[in-house]
Chains A and B, each alone.
Chain A
């Protein structure tokens, strides 16, 4: 049985029909690809380490999401948005991530605005 840090027990519901195993983790191929890209060409990655990374990433998402949703609850908002995620990352010590992600979020919103203002031309 996997332990779940942070008190959230909903992730433990393996094989309960509510959360299928494959839905609990990000795909091992995607995770493995990102790992491979950061390592030297001659490095090898064991399957077990990819599986461990899958678990770690899901835990990271849950950890940050819980922090973000707690902020929303205190502010009586119902929707977790990109700013909440960035704030939570900073709050949990991932300051190095929060800043590039804020810039990424800003660019994403600008792109969305452009798309809204300039619908793709047909024909």
Chain B
């Protein structure tokens, strides 16, 4: 039996206290971890909990960067093309380029997306 108040202390004054104990389902995170490779044998109970916070930070960062793209396009609605632009413009999101490009290419016949990609210093 866990005390109802025990979890709220976990988030007081810390990272992202806006939501409940875990804003993302831990069981689902664990399942995705398990499916990431055959060599993922055992996962400690704390790993999905850490990931739930890591995923929040990831979603927040990618959303913020995508919003900048939407604003540059003078729009108030976030489109998937904005996510693609943010991924392409951000080094640490390199691993997603194929995913967002593949997602985008499914929109056959869509308007040509002329993306103004800022120059990245790769030194």
The residues of A with any CB-CB pair to B shorter than 8 Å are 2-6, 8, 10-11, 19, 23-27, 30-31, 33-35, 37-39, 42-46, 48-49, 51-53, 55-66, 68-70, 73, 78-82, 84-86, 89, 92-94, 96-97, 100-101, 103-105, 107-109, 111, 115, 120
Contacts and interface: CB of A to CB of B under 8 A. Distances in A.
A24 B9 CA distance: 31
B23 A30 contact: yes
Given A8-B36, A82-B46, A48 B76 contact: no
Nearest to A60: B58
A101 to B, nearest CB: 6
B35 A10 contact: yes
Interface residues of B, number: 67
Which of A33, A60, A105, A111 has most chain B Cβ within 10 Å?
A60
Nearest to B35: A10
A35 B78 contact: yes
A26 B37 contact: no
A5 B100 CA distance: 11
Secondary structure of the A contact surface, majority rule: helix
19 contacts: A3-B102, A6-B95, A8-B36, A26-B28, A34-B56, A38-B64, A39-B63, A52-B80, A53-B62, A56-B83, A56-B96, A56-B99, A59-B99, A61-B33, A62-B37, A73-B39, A79-B44, A81-B44, A93-B91
